[in-house]
């Protein structure tokens, strides 16, 4: 069975917004073995909306609309479905009651417009929405002799996700042929997409029953392995077999391989630190807080990450990380020596197990022939030994800074391995 997702809202047709809700729905549907054949984005015009629904119901087995179920004049999804299928809307007594009860509880005044949220497509079931006033609808119908499912979801992501998971997925499971999907995600740091692909393509191309997707981010790649079989164990065996072979080939660049979703590099680093009872502090120059920010974005990071200093100016390198002024004068702020001194100094000052120092030129200005934009030194110290690397990262300021933070995290990971 295939599915078409229709995202509704004139704002989604501007240069400023994008539909992202469909990505979540797509992931959940793929897990059920349903692929997406089309996505359509349409504005709030009733005629366009009805046309999009009509076209979709003609060519796809499952049609999901997202949005346009609110109480305003722009919310025309119910009406458009009725137009497209030539069926009637009926005001549902239970829903009217719920709207009144909810309004009374919150001391709202109900308007005539509010009540249209109680209008149901003839034959549709209600999908309850405990998080908002816009109920969803589930329509199991026949178009031109073919069974079709129509699903009306609201627009806000926090309403869509639970409604889809709790009320649509169980209904879909009843309709769809029994099929079990196994998924594995492998993640690797500081290896390019094409370099990784060149090494693993000969492996995954032998597994024609496993769908392998490579997704690349800055200094990070994610491999998703998906296999569907009538028996779950069979599907799991296949993805695990492929995952093992890929792990063997890519070896120590892989930082996450065991879970379905895959952990982030930050999570892995914090997990290793906690496992070892170790702590970390960082002194950041060119990354300017990005490395700390990434680590502290993880809940519970305070157990292993103590903090550190953003030492943008030379004075602060001395003040917070004890880098000797003469060292900066002699070698420059962007140098191997200063990176080492930052790592060692911040470690001492924070009394942490490990200290990391980052200094470089993120650009676009500030580069010289000798020290070009993209040159970054990253050091890690454990109090006995300090490792330092020199890197030349390509790209713009954002990219160079992210690369540097990624490299730093990966060095901590390797130190802990």
By CB under 8 A, the residues from 143 to 162 that bind a second copy are none
Assign 411 to helix, strand or coil.
helix
Nearer to a second copy, 85 or 346 (CB): 346
- Report residue 216 as tokens: 């690349």
Chain position carrying tokens 């003469």: 326
Q: Is 222 in the site for a second copy (CB under 8 A)?
A: yes
Q: Is 11 in the site for a second copy (CB under 8 A)?
A: yes
Choose among 261, 272, 334, 269: nearest CA to 298.
269
Q: What b-and-e string marks burial along 296-311, b requiring 16 or more CB atoms within 10 Å of the CB?
A: eebeebeebbbebbbb
Q: Is 248 in the site for a second copy (CB under 8 A)?
A: no
Cα–Cα distance, 261 to 231 (Å, whole number): 21
The site string for a second copy over 55-74 (x = CB under 8 A, - otherwise) reads: x---x---------------
From the CB of 71, what's the least distance to a second copy, in Å?
14
The site string for a second copy over 107-126 (x = CB under 8 A, - otherwise) reads: --------------------
Cα–Cα distance, 369 to 246 (Å, whole number): 40
Nearer to a second copy, 118 or 309 (CB): 309
Nearer to a second copy, 169 or 231 (CB): 169
Strand partners, 359: 377
Q: Is 1 in the site for a second copy (CB under 8 A)?
A: no
Cα–Cα distance, 326 to 348 (Å, whole number): 19
The correct pick among 8, 99, 350, 356 for binding a second copy (CB under 8 A) is 350
From the CB of 15, what's the least distance to a second copy, in Å?
4
The correct pick among 21, 224, 256, 257 for binding a second copy (CB under 8 A) is 224
Count of CB atoms situated within 10 Å of the CB of 227: 23
Nearer to a second copy, 193 or 329 (CB): 193
Q: Is 15 in the site for a second copy (CB under 8 A)?
A: yes
Residues 71-90 that bind a second copy (CB under 8 A): none
Residues 202-221 that bind a second copy (CB under 8 A): 213, 215
The correct pick among 159, 284, 337, 344 for binding a second copy (CB under 8 A) is 284
Cα–Cα distance, 134 to 336 (Å, whole number): 59
Which H or E element spans position 66? strand 62-66
- Alpha carbons within 13 A on the beta-carbon side of 355: 26
Choose among 75, 80, 31: nearest CA to 56.
80
The correct pick among 1, 33, 38, 143 for binding a second copy (CB under 8 A) is 38
Q: Is 308 in the site for a second copy (CB under 8 A)?
A: yes
Q: Are strands 220-229 and 375-381 parallel, antiparallel or unpaired?
A: unpaired
- Report residue 319 as tokens: 């003040």
The correct pick among 311, 340, 358, 404 for binding a second copy (CB under 8 A) is 311
From the CB of 117, what's the least distance to a second copy, in Å?
18
Q: Is 26 in the site for a second copy (CB under 8 A)?
A: yes
The correct pick among 8, 32, 34, 42 for binding a second copy (CB under 8 A) is 42
Strand blocks (E) in 146-199:
146-153, 180-189
Q: Is 325 in the site for a second copy (CB under 8 A)?
A: no
- Considering only the stretches 122-130, 134-142, 144-152, 394-402, report the one whose residues sit in contact with a second copy under the rule CB under 8 A: 394-402
Chain centre to alpha carbon of residue 202? 28
How far are the Cα atoms of 55, 61, 85, 141 from residue 144, in angstroms, in the given order? 13, 12, 11, 10
Contact between residue 207 and residue 217 where contact means Cβ atoms under 8 Å apart: no
The correct pick among 204, 255, 320, 403 for binding a second copy (CB under 8 A) is 320
The correct pick among 8, 32, 34, 41 for binding a second copy (CB under 8 A) is 41
């Amino acid at each position: 069975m295939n599915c078409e997702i229709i995202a509704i809202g004139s704002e989604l047709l501007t240069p400023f917004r994008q539909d992202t809700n469909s990505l979540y729905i797509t992931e959940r549907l793929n897990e059920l073995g349903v692929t997406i054949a089309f996505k359509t984005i349409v504005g709030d015009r009733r005629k366009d909306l009805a046309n999009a629904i009509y076209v979709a119901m003609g060519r796809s087995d499952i049609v999901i609309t997202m949005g346009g179920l609110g109480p305003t004049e722009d919310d025309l999804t119910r009406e458009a479905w009725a137009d497209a299928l030539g069926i009637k809307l009926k005001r549902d007594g239970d829903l009217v009651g719920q709207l009144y009860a909810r309004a009374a509880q919150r001391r709202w005044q109900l308007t005539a417009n509010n009540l249209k949220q109680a209008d149901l497509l003839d034959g549709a079931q209600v999908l309850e929405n405990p998080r908002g006033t816009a109920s969803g609808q589930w329509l199991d119908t026949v178009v031109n002799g073919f069974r079709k499912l129509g699903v009306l979801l609201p627009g806000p992501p926090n309403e869509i996700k639970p409604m889809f998971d709790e009320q649509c997925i169980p209904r879909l499971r009843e309709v769809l042929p029994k099929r079990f999907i196994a998924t594995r995600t492998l993640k690797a740091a500081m290896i390019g997409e094409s370099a990784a692909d060149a090494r693993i393509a000969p492996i995954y191309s032998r597994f024609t029953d496993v769908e392998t997707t490579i997704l690349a981010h800055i200094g990070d790649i994610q491999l998703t392995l998906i296999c569907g079989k009538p028996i779950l164990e069979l599907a799991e065996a296949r993805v695990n077999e492929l995952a093992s072979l890929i792990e063997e080939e890519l070896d120590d660049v892989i930082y996450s391989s065991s879970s379905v979703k895959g952990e982030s590099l930050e999570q892995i680093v914090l997990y290793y630190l906690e496992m070892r009872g170790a702590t970390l502090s960082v002194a950041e120059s060119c990354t300017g807080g990005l490395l700390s920010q990434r680590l502290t974005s993880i809940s519970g990071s305070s157990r292993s990450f103590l903090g550190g200093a953003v030492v943008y100016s030379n004075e602060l390198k001395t003040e917070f990380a004890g880098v000797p002024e003469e060292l900066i004068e002699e070698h420059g702020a962007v140098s191997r020596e200063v990176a080492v001194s930052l790592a060692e100094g911040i470690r001492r000052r924070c009394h942490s197990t490990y200290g990391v120092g980052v200094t470089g030129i993120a650009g676009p200005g500030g580069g010289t022939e000798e020290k070009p934009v993209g040159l970054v030194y990253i050091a890690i110290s454990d109090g006995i030994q300090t490792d330092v690397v020199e890197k030349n990262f390509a790209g713009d300021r954002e990219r160079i800074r992210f690369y540097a933070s990624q490299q730093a995290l990966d060095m901590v990971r390797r130190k802990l391995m």
